[in-house]
Amino acid sequence: MQHESLFTPVQLGGRTLKNRIVFPPLTRQRSAQPGDTASDLMAEYYRQRASAGFMVSEGTQIEPRGQGYAWTPGIYTPAQVDGWRKVTDAVHADGGVIFAQLWHVGRVSHHALQPDGSAPIAPSAIQATSAKAFIETGTGTGELVLPSMPRALSVAEIKDLVGLYATAASNAIAAGFDGVEIHAANGYLVNQFISEHSNQRDDQYGGSLENRLRFLREIVQAVAKTIGPDRLGVRFTPLFTTTDQDRVYIGMVEKDPDQTYIEAIKVLEEAGVAYVSIAEADWDNAPDLPEQFRRNVRAAFSGRIIYAGRYTAERGARLVEAGLADLIAFGRPFIANPDLPARISNGWPLNSVNPATLYGGTAAGFTDYPAYVA
């Protein structure tokens, strides 16, 4: 067996994972329409990859205003819960463990995606000019557009959103998920509250770092109370800037990202959540996270630590062996190789991902990547 450290069992919350290889959240835009529901095709896609020790669903909007890209799935209607049940049943039948990623894009949306064509919502009325939304322009066709100018949330609306996260977590458990991951990364709503660049509020949710972390803290506490902290993880992108084809995501790097995100991780430690997931820059030749930051994360957090960001099996195994990571996520390699753990273990060659079929479409580039034939 190659890279043995990736194949030792590990506890995550109340579950023993069969390996340390993670299938991470990956937006694919193939939900069934109308209704943004998980489809039979999606159930097959996730089932094919259930040999991962741990899986996290693609970003799943917690309410209609949380959508920034056409054809992404939700988890706020009974039909959506039923659709996800097909996915979780398929994954569990093949021995997988899967969490739902709870997502709200905040200002990274367009009025065409919003109920009644309204403005997107955000901590402050600051437009996301370095990101793109994706709107439908016809049946099965769409285009990338500049997000619309958002409006600032009232304090009462922020409190309501905290409740929506808790409700979505409850819906996820009803749909058969083993837990949930709060998406607090990639410049989306929770990240918008954390960041000094997008949060210019002068009330209890803005200004100081403690205030900018308040929304995260309230969501974590509400979700942990609803489903239990052992079924909860959170994803951050401390130093994340990347381009992906024509889509541009800016993960708003803070003046002192180490202080910002170590304090954010302390919020998770206080709540006793199961894991923190750190997504790194994922373009070719991107700089690595500083080792001191990794050590600070380990010192601040007693739960499991997941890293993602164009890892090779060798590099991921070294991080696990150094005690700085517990699990390693592989995104594009898992898209193109549904049997990725077996390929890593045996040293088999990898399929290449087809960038043209990443977002939207049919089974092509989704469920038709072949397993390795020895």
CATH number at residue 213: 3.20.20.70
Q: Which of 69, 76, 165, 188 is catalytic?
A: 188
Does residue 103 lie within any of the structural domains?
A: yes
Buried b (16+ CB within 10 A) or exposed e, 117-145: eebbbbbbebebebbbbbbbeeeeebebb
Does residue 231 lie within any of the structural domains?
A: yes
Amino acid 243: pLDDT: 45
pLDDT values of the chain reduced to their tens digit, one per residue, 374 residues: 899 999 999 999 999 999 999 999 999 999 999 999 999 999 999 999 999 999 999 999 999 999 999 999 999 999 999 999 999 999 999 999 999 999 999 999 999 999 999 999 999 999 998 899 999 998 889 999 999 999 999 999 999 999 999 999 999 999 999 999 999 999 999 999 999 999 999 999 999 999 999 999 999 999 999 999 999 999 999 975 544 444 444 456 788 989 999 999 999 999 999 999 999 977 666 667 889 999 999 999 999 999 999 899 999 999 999 999 999 999 999 999 999 999 999 999 999 999 999 999 999 999 999 999 98
How far apart are the C-alpha atoms of 76 and 166, rounded to whole Å? 11
Range of the domain at 16: 4-357
188 carries an active-site annotation: yes
* Tally of structural domains, the chain: 1
Does residue 352 lie within any of the structural domains?
A: yes
How far apart are the C-alpha atoms of 38 and 75, rounded to whole Å? 9
Does residue 247 lie within any of the structural domains?
A: yes
Does residue 188 lie within any of the structural domains?
A: yes
Amino acid 286: pLDDT: 63
pTM greater than the 0.85 cutoff: yes
Strand-strand pairing, 304-308 and 327-329: parallel
Does residue 273 lie within any of the structural domains?
A: yes
Distance of CA 58 to the CA centre of its chain: 6
Does residue 26 lie within any of the structural domains?
A: yes
Does residue 369 lie within any of the structural domains?
A: no
